[in-house]
Structure 1
Amino acid sequence: MRTSTGFVRGRAVIIGSIALALIVVAVPSAGADDGPRPKATSVYEGKIDVSDPDLKMVDGATLAAAKVLEIKQVVGDEAGNEQREDSNSEVKFSLQAEVLFGKDSAKLSSDADARIKAIAEEIKKQNAKKVRVFGFTDDLGSAEHGDVLSRQRAAAVHGVLSQELAAVGISYEIRGYGEQFPIAENNSEENRRKNRRVEVSFPRGTAS
């Protein structure tokens, strides 16, 4: 014959077993997240009713004006001495200072004239009426010296262009930016060389 105490203990054991079973069922296995999971599809597989009035523009609405993307094309020689960048609106030549000038000098080298005259021919071809000539240096030396040197180099390039284009009637913008606007980090001689440059840019016109 069971005592009331034995009955209570037995019921407690049964209830405890049921609770343990529920806990075991509720906890997922340790490897459940290890396998691949099905990915939600990103493609709508239904049908679209093109005649649905909700897809139509409201009366009086118009589409925004089409925009022309700015496309740039950059070409240069293998040595990196000269680079040409063409966009929808502009042509820009970048000449490394070493091919135009001696070290720390604003006097044009013997090879400089031919390169600058070739740019002058492209300016004529594009029928450009405004030309920008900007000089740049690296971060060596004082900022003041770099500003002066870059301005002198830009002026030297302008001197050749103005002679070649004297009959065209062009206005010029000449500036020396020194070490401002580097195109590479000044952390190596190779990168500093890229920053020592003169840029000649002008609007793209209707080429003749």
Structure 2
Amino acid sequence: MRDMTYIRNQRTATRFVGRSMAAAVLLAGATVCGISTASAADGPSVPPGTEASAAPPVEVDAQDPDLKMADGATLAPAKVLDIVQVVEDEGGEERREDSNETVKFALQAEVLFGKDSAKLSSAANARIAAIAEEVKKQDAKRVRVFGFTDNLGSSAHGDVLSKQRADAVHKVLQQELSAAGITFEIRGYGEQYPIADNSSEEGRKKNRRVEVSFPRGEGGSES
């Protein structure tokens, strides 16, 4: 009798364990399915805003009121943007800037002068003469000659040297253009208006320059 009771208890325990395991599996399955279902619902398969839109119209309706100006409105006057084209030779010795209104040449001081000098070198005259030919080609009547230095040395010395160098270039231009009836404006700006970083020798070399600018293709004054 004792043995039969033991066997029945063992069978009951086995059935309990089996049911518990089955319940655990079902719960686990429900949890896994729950996670899977939640993951799919976390976000759409296609990010918002990237859904395919309607195809664009083949033709534009010219009578669409959204395309018409309000009554009494007028278009602004047409304006040509002043686009600047820059050309620089390989060594950076000469730089040319062309815009709709002006032409500007920038010559490095080392090309025109000796170190800390305002005396033109032997190769300088040919370069300045080439600029004079461009002035004639554009039929310019006003020419600006501006000198610049780097930030080494005193500011006062740079002001004087840059003006002396501008004067030297002006003298050659005046000889080349003596019959053209041109008005010149000559200034020395010293270390003002750098076009490169003065913290490096490469930048300072570009800043030591003389600029010659004049109107493009017009006989009047530069705007």
Whether these two folds match at TM > 0.5 is: yes
1 CA distance for matches of 2:89 and 2:153?
Answer: 29
| 1:82-161 superposed matches below 5 A | 82-161=94-173
The answer to whether structure 1 residue 52 and structure 2 residue 83 are counterparts is no
2 CA distance for matches of 1:179 and 1:42?
Answer: 59
What secondary structure is seen at the aligned counterpart in 2 of 1:202? strand
Q: Which has the larger radius of gyration?
A: 2
Residue by residue over 1:78-118, the C-alpha shift from the partner in whole angstroms, topping out at 9 and shown as x without a partner, is 11111111110000000000000000000000000000000
Residue 17 of structure 1 is matched in structure 2 by none
The answer to whether structure 1 residue 76 and structure 2 residue 88 are counterparts is yes
C-alpha deviation, 1:66, in angstroms: 1.3
2 CA distance for matches of 1:72 and 1:186?
Answer: 24
Q: Which amino acid aligns with 1:98?
A: E
Gap change, CA 1:40 and 1:50, over 3 Å in 2: farther
C-alpha deviation, 1:42, in angstroms: 11
Gap change, CA 1:40 and 1:67, over 3 Å in 2: farther
Please point out which of 191, 199, 205 is paired with 1:179: 191
Residue by residue over 1:36-87, the C-alpha shift from the partner in whole angstroms, topping out at 9 and shown as x without a partner, is 8343479775656432334322333221111111122111211111111111
1 CA distance for matches of 2:164 and 2:109?
Answer: 12
RMSD over equivalenced CA pairs, Å: 2.9
Larger CA deviation: 95-104 vs 183-192: 183-192
The answer to whether structure 1 residue 169 and structure 2 residue 181 are counterparts is yes
Q: Which amino acid aligns with 1:39?
A: G
Gap change, CA 1:42 and 1:185, over 3 Å in 2: farther
C-alpha deviation, 1:206, in angstroms: 5.1
Residue 14 of structure 1 is matched in structure 2 by none
What secondary structure is seen at the aligned counterpart in 2 of 1:109? coil
The answer to whether structure 1 residue 37 and structure 2 residue 43 are counterparts is no
1 CA distance for matches of 2:164 and 2:79?
Answer: 40
C-alpha deviation, 1:199, in angstroms: 0.2
2 CA distance for matches of 1:156 and 1:42?
Answer: 69
**Structure 2 portions without partners, runs of 5+:** 1-33
Larger CA deviation: 50-59 vs 87-96: 50-59
Gap change, CA 1:176 and 1:38, over 3 Å in 2: same
TM-score normalized with structure 2 length: 0.73
Residue 190 of structure 1 is matched in structure 2 by 202
TM-score normalized with structure 1 length: 0.78
2 CA distance for matches of 1:92 and 1:172?
Answer: 14
Q: Which amino acid aligns with 1:114?
A: A
Gap change, CA 1:177 and 1:206, over 3 Å in 2: closer
Structure number with the higher helix fraction is 2
Task: Give % identity.
Answer: 69
Q: Which amino acid aligns with 1:193?
A: K
1 CA distance for matches of 2:80 and 2:167?
Answer: 35
C-alpha deviation, 1:121, in angstroms: 0.6
